[in-house]
């Protein structure tokens, strides 16, 4: 099942899971890993934020930050922890005092934190949040393209490996 082509709302049933993994692929997945399979898919973060059905413990996958395919696709776990610092990238505020927390991350990019990369919008705060998260969980930042304007934000601390590819600042 390709979530870019078909939006799925609600829990996956057995048939949908078989289609998503394929019969052979599902047989190689451990029972514990199936619990980590996202229960909800959204085109973007705004759709996730609007869904009032989400509850603590749900796993969520987005196909992009602003729109499907924009590079900001990510997986989140839903928690009800009011002590978390909301940066709208690694911790995204939802309805009913819930928070979507970025999870299963091997690397981050700026789009996952809402940076636009058009050279016009000030993406500094979002880039700083991406590096702060990467520093905390010790993952690289891999951002291979985009034209990023850094306006007001200063002192972006970079403590992990970075691959900027053709990215321009």
Residues 15, 19: Cα–Cα separation, whole Å: 6
Out of 7-11, 83-87, 126-130, which region has the weakest mean confidence (pLDDT)?
Answer: 7-11
Q: What is the pLDDT of residues 17-60, one digit of tens each?
A: 444 444 334 333 444 444 456 789 999 999 999 999 999 999 99
Q: Quick one: pLDDT band at residue 63, thresholds 50, 70, 90? A: very high
Q: What is the pLDDT of residues 116-148, one digit of tens each?
A: 999 999 999 999 999 999 999 999 999 999 999
pLDDT, residue 77, reads 97
End-to-end CA distance of the chain: 37
Q: What is the pLDDT of residues 114-123, one digit of tens each?
A: 999 999 999 9
């Amino acid at each position: 099942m390709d979530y870019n082509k078909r939006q799925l709302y609600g829990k996956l049933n057995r048939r949908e899971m078989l289609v998503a993994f394929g019969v052979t692929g599902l047989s190689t997945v451990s029972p514990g890993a199936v619990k980590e399979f996202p229960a909800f898919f959204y085109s973007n973060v705004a759709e996730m934020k609007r869904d009032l059905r989400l509850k603590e413990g749900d796993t969520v996958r987005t196909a992009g930050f602003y729109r499907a395919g924009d590079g900001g696709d990510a997986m989140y776990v839903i928690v009800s922890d009011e002590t978390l610092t909301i940066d709208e990238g690694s911790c995204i505020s939802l309805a009913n005092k819930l928070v979507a927390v970025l999870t299963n991350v091997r690397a981050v990019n700026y789009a996952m934190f809402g940076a636009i990369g058009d050279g016009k919008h000030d993406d500094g705060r979002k880039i700083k949040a991406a590096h702060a998260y990467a520093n905390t969980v010790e993952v690289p930042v891999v951002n291979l393209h985009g034209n990023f304007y850094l306006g007001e934000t200063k002192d972006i601390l970079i403590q992990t490996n970075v691959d900027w590819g053709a990215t321009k600042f």
